[in-house]
Amino acid sequence: MSPSLYTLIEASLPQDRTRTAIEAPDRSRGPRIWSFNDLLATAARYAALFARLGLARGDRVALQVEKSPEALAVYLACLRGGFVFLPMNMAYRADEVDYLVGNAEPSLVICDPSVETSLKEICTRRGTPHLLTLDWEAGGSFVDAAAGVAEYDEPAACSADDLAAILYTSGTTGKPKGAMLTHGNLAANGVALRDAWRFTEADVLLHALPIFHAHGLFVACHCALLSGAKMIWLRKFDREDVIRELPRATTFMGVPTFYTRLLSGDDFCREPVAHMRLFTSGSAPLLAETFEEFRARTGHAILERYGMTETGMNASNPYDGERRPGTVGFPLPGVELRVMSDEGAPLAAGEVGGLQVRGANVFRGYWRMPEKSAEEFTEDGWFRTGDVAMIDADGYVHLVGRAKDLIISGGFNVYPKEIEELIDDMPEVLESAVVGVPHADFGEAGAAVVVLRHGFLLDEATLIARLKDKVANYKVPKRAFFVESLPRNTMGKVQKNLLRETWRGACEGG
C-alpha cells in the first residue's frame, strides 16, 4: 500500500526537527517561528480535536480564514487524521459560502471572526455540527479548544485512493464544482515538482501566495514540506514585504501579477535577488515581455509551469535546459499530455487543439457530480483540461487559449457565466456578456457588456456596486458598457471574440 501523504511528508522532513519550518514575519510583534516539531505536534493536536468533536475519516473540515501557520497545521491535521480539507477564499461572500457548505456538508467549519455571524446563520440552516473561529494571529475558539487536547491519536492509515482535499473551482455553468484530490494525487505531484525544481532542506521558500488555492497550498507547501525546506510565510503579497524578505530566500513562487508588481518600481533590481536559485510562475499566462524584463533587470529566467485545480501541475519549463517564454515547458515526469482535434483524433506537433492529460496527478472527479465528472474524461481515461494548446517540434507546450472563455484576473479564475447570470437577474437588464480584456495590473479583467430593457436606466457604478455585494471582488468586472444589442453568429451564440476586440482597451490603464 502506498503511504498516505502525511506519512510521506513526515518521512521527508529533516532529521533535526528543531529546524525552522515556518517563519511568519510580523512587523509589530516580531516573527513567529515554528519548528518542524511544532508543526507536527500542532497538527497532531488538531487531528485529535477533530476526533474528539466526533469527526470520522472522510468528514470534511471547511475553512474560511486568513493565511496563518495554524491554517497550514489544520491542513496537515486533515492529512494525518484522514479528514478532508476544504479551503474557501476569504473573498467569498455569504451566498458563495452557503452554496459550498450546502454542497460539501462539512462536519466542522473554521472561520475568521469577521465572518462568524454570517457563517453561524449558514451553519445553523445547513445543519453543520461545529463552527469555530481562527484569526491570523492565533486567536479564536478553535485555538482555545485545541489547547485543551492532551492526547494524540496515531496517524490514520490512509491509502493513495483516500480523499485528502476538495478544492472548489468555478464551472462554465456558473456553479462551483468540488475537485476531489486524493493522497495519491497530491503525493505524486508534490514529489514530481520537488524533484523537477530541485528542492532540498537548504532552501528557503518565500511564500506570498494564498493557501485556499492549489498554487499556494499544494505547489508551494508540498515542495517545501517534501524537502524539509523552510518557508517565510507572508500573509499576502505586499511588494515592500517581498522585496524586504527576498534577500533571505532562495526560491519564490508567484502568479504573473506578482512579477509585474515587483517590476513596477526601480527599487527592484539585481542586487537583492542575485543569490536566488529559482523564481516560478503559473496560474495565468506570463507575458514574454514580463519574462524578458525580469531577466534583463535581475539576470533570472522565470520558470513558467502549467496546471489546474483538477490535475495539479502538468507541465513545467526545465530546471536546467532552456526556459522558453510564452511556453509552459514539457510534461512533468509521470504526466502525459496530448493535443486532440474536435473529432477526437491526436494532432501532430505544431497543430492546435484541445489539451488532455493523464497521470497519477489527475483528480478523482467532482464531488457529488458523477455525470459532470464522466463528461470531462475521454473513454480511454484522459481528462479534458478545457485549455487549447499546441506542442511544438521541440516538445514545448504552448497554451493558446481557453475553450471555456475563462477570465484569469490576477491569477484567479472568473467564469463569465456566473457573473452574467447575476447581471441578468437585475430588473433593468435584458441580457449581458462578460469578457476578459487586458488589464495593466491583473493581466486580465472582466468587462461587462449589457443590454438594458426598453425604458430602463442603469449606470455603471450602480451595476458594479451591486455585484460587489454578491461576489468576491476579483470576480467583479472592472468596467461595464451599455449597448443596444449583443453581436451574435448565425447559431445565435454571442460573439465574445468581437466584444473582446471592441473593448480591448477598456482596462489597459489598470
Q: Any contact of residue 285 with ligand AMP (CB under 6 A)?
A: yes
In this complex, which beta carbon is closest to ligand AMP, that of residue 46 or of residue 75?
Answer: 75
Residue nearer to ligand AMP on the CB measure, 12 or 281:
281
CB half-sphere exposure, 193, CA atoms < 13 A: 29
Assigned C-alpha cell, 1: 500500500
Residues numbered 289-308 forming contacts with ligand AMP, rule: CB under 6 A:
304, 306-308
Question: Cell numbers 501532430 correspond to what residue?
Answer: 348
| Min CB(308)–ligand AMP separation in Å | 3
Helix, strand, or coil here: 104?
A: helix
For position 413 contacting ligand AMP by CB under 6 A, the verdict is yes
Binding mask 388-407 toward ligand AMP (x if CB under 6 A, else -) reads -----------x--x---x-
CA nearest to 333, candidates 201, 196, 472: 196
| Binds ligand AMP by CB under 6 A, chosen from 155, 282, 353, 477 | 282
> CB of 191: closest distance to ligand AMP in angstroms?
19
CA–CA separation, 193 vs 361, rounded Å?
Answer: 11
Rounded-to-integer distance, Cα 60 and Cα 32, Å: 29
Of 7, 189, 283, 356, the one binding ligand AMP (CB under 6 A) is 283
- Measured distance CA(70)–CA(211) in Å, rounded: 12
Query: CB of residue 93 vs ligand AMP: minimum separation in angstroms?
Result: 19
**Which residue lies nearer to ligand AMP by CB, 13 or 217?**
217
Question: Is 284 an interacting residue with respect to ligand AMP (CB under 6 A)?
Answer: yes
Instruction: Cell numbers for 334, please give them.
Output: 509521470
User: Is 250 an interacting residue with respect to ligand AMP (CB under 6 A)?
Assistant: no
**49 — phi, psi (to 5°)?**
-60, -45
Return the number of the residue (387 or 420) whose C-beta is nearest ligand AMP: 387
**CB of 133 or CB of 309, closer to ligand AMP:** 309
Q: Pattern of binders to ligand AMP over 323-362, x per CB under 6 A?
A: -----x----------------------------------
Q: Which of 328, 324, 326 is nearest to 311 (CA)?
A: 328
Query: Is 313 one of the binding residues for ligand AMP (CB under 6 A)?
Result: no
How many Cβ atoms are within 10 Å of 8's Cβ, its own excluded? 19
CA atoms of 432 and 131, how far apart (whole Å): 38
Closest CB 159 distance from ligand AMP, rounded Å? 25
Candidates 260, 356, 385, 409: give the one binding ligand AMP (CB under 6 A): 385
d(CA 5, CA 167) in angstroms, rounded, equals 17
Question: Judged by CB, which is closer to ligand AMP: 106, or 282?
Answer: 282
Q: How far is CA 27 from the centre of its chain?
A: 27
Rg (Cα) of the chain, in Å, rounded? 23
- CA nearest to 51, candidates 158, 157, 149, 134: 149
The 192-221 contact track toward ligand AMP, x by CB under 6 A, reads ----------------------x-------
Residue type, 107: S
Per-residue contact string for residues 112-151; x = within reach of ligand AMP by CB under 6 A: ----------------------------------------
**Are 98 and 104 spatial neighbours (Cβ–Cβ below 8 Å)?**
no
413 conformational bin, left if phi > 0, alpha if psi -120 to 50, beta if neither: beta
Distance in angstroms (rounded) separating the CA atoms of residues 475 and 170: 11
CB 330 within 8 Å of CB 316: yes
- Given the rule CB under 6 A, which of 80-88, 142-150, 223-231, 279-287 is the region that contacts ligand AMP? 279-287
Q: How far, in Å, CA of 245 to CA of 242, rounded?
A: 5
Question: In the window 438-497, what residues touch ligand AMP (CB under 6 A)?
Answer: none
Q: Is 7 in the site for ligand AMP (CB under 6 A)?
A: no
Shortest distance (Å) from residue 328 CB to ligand AMP: 5
Count of positions on this chain that bind ligand AMP (CB under 6 A): 20
Cα–Cα distance measured from residue 500 to residue 71, given in angstroms and rounded to the nearest whole number: 39
Min dist CB 488 to ligand AMP, Å, is 26
Query: Which one, 200 or 497, has the nearer CB to ligand AMP?
Result: 497
Q: How far is the CB of 428 from ligand AMP (least distance, A)?
A: 32
Which amino acid is located at 206 in the chain?
A: L
Tell me which residues touch ligand AMP (CB under 6 A): 169, 214, 282-285, 304, 306-309, 328, 385-387, 399, 402, 406, 408, 413
